[in-house]
Amino acid sequence: MATFTTKDGTTLYYKDWGNGPVVSFSHGWPLSADAWEAQMFFLASNGYRCIAHDRRGHGRSSQPWDGNDMDTYADDLAQLFDALDLKDVTMIGHSTGGGEVARYIGRHGTKRVKKAVLMGAVPPIMVKTDANPEGLPLEVFDGFRKAYLEDRAQFFLDVASGPFFGFNRPGAKVSQGAIQSWWRQGMQCGHKNGYDCIKAFSETDFTQDLKKFDVPTLIIHGDDDQIVPIGAAAMKSSKLVPNAQLKIYKGGGHSLGDTAKDELNADLLAFLKS
């Protein structure tokens, strides 16, 4: 099992599959690197080296009490890149992981980065503020925290069974396996780590980070994303990232890596080759 220890003693688990140009994957809340397996298998099979870590407090990584914030997440990833001496990386981030990619570039620049992909990503900021009136009210995330503390296992099951995959939409093809996999990954997350991460993904403002992007960037979002609504996310991010390419998946939900797997894999491969 491949692991790396950060400067503050946190052990991060990571997968390192294949050989070739490097692609990194940053997962969403409260998941792990397992969420990217379909994309990693596909791209590694097409000549790429695919690296995905479990964020601190998630999956098989250790569960420190502190550091459950975007600055630390980005610094952890930077230390992993340095330890593996990765160059010309295409960084791919989903949901919270998209915030991690944005904050990484904002704090560490693109000396090791060739391209970036933000998919269903939380930037520029999820919560409603005076500067972001299209955002979701803070009460929404307070509700997340309340449900999390009352019955985390049931809350995770409800999210996976409904809005995350869009299984609550009429005619949706429901996969019990996908629900169980999401629930399993979520329950691996440290209790405090997962709780703290709600604030990290919802209240962090990535506006200035996005303005620092200076590599080709693909922004992908489903127009029926019930977790990260497209209007306050991709539509704004695509205007903040210089020369960003925006692709909207019609009828697409939040978890395109599962529900639109073949289309997403093809789009990622095409972007890597472009």
CATH number at residue 92: 3.40.50.1820
pTM reported for the whole predicted model: 0.97
Separation of alpha carbons 260 and 173, rounded Å: 12
Tell me what pLDDT residue 131 has. Answer: 87
pLDDT digits (tens, 9 = 90+) for 39-98: 999 999 999 999 999 999 999 999 999 999 999 999 999 999 999 999 999 999 999 999
Strand 89-94 with 113-119, pairing? parallel
Tell me what pLDDT residue 219 has. Answer: 98
Distance in angstroms between the alpha carbons of the first and the last residue of the chain: 33
Domain span at residue 248 reads 3-273
Tell me what pLDDT residue 35 has. Answer: 98
**How many domains is the chain built from?**
1
Tell me what pLDDT residue 74 has. Answer: 98
SS3 call for 128: coil
Tell me what pLDDT residue 39 has. Answer: 98
Interior CA angle at 231 toward 227 and 235, to 5°?
A: 115
* Residue type for position 227: I
Q: Can you say whether residue 212 is alpha, beta or left, with left for phi > 0 and alpha for psi between -120 and 50 degrees?
A: alpha
Separation of alpha carbons 21 and 216, rounded Å: 16
Q: Which of the residues are catalytic?
A: 95, 225, 254
Percent of the chain at pLDDT > 90 equals 98
Ranges of the chain whose pLDDT falls below 50:
none
Name the residue among 110, 113, 70, 72 with its Cα closest to residue 89. 113
Tell me what pLDDT residue 1 has. Answer: 75
SS3 call for 251: coil
Separation of alpha carbons 130 and 137, rounded Å: 11
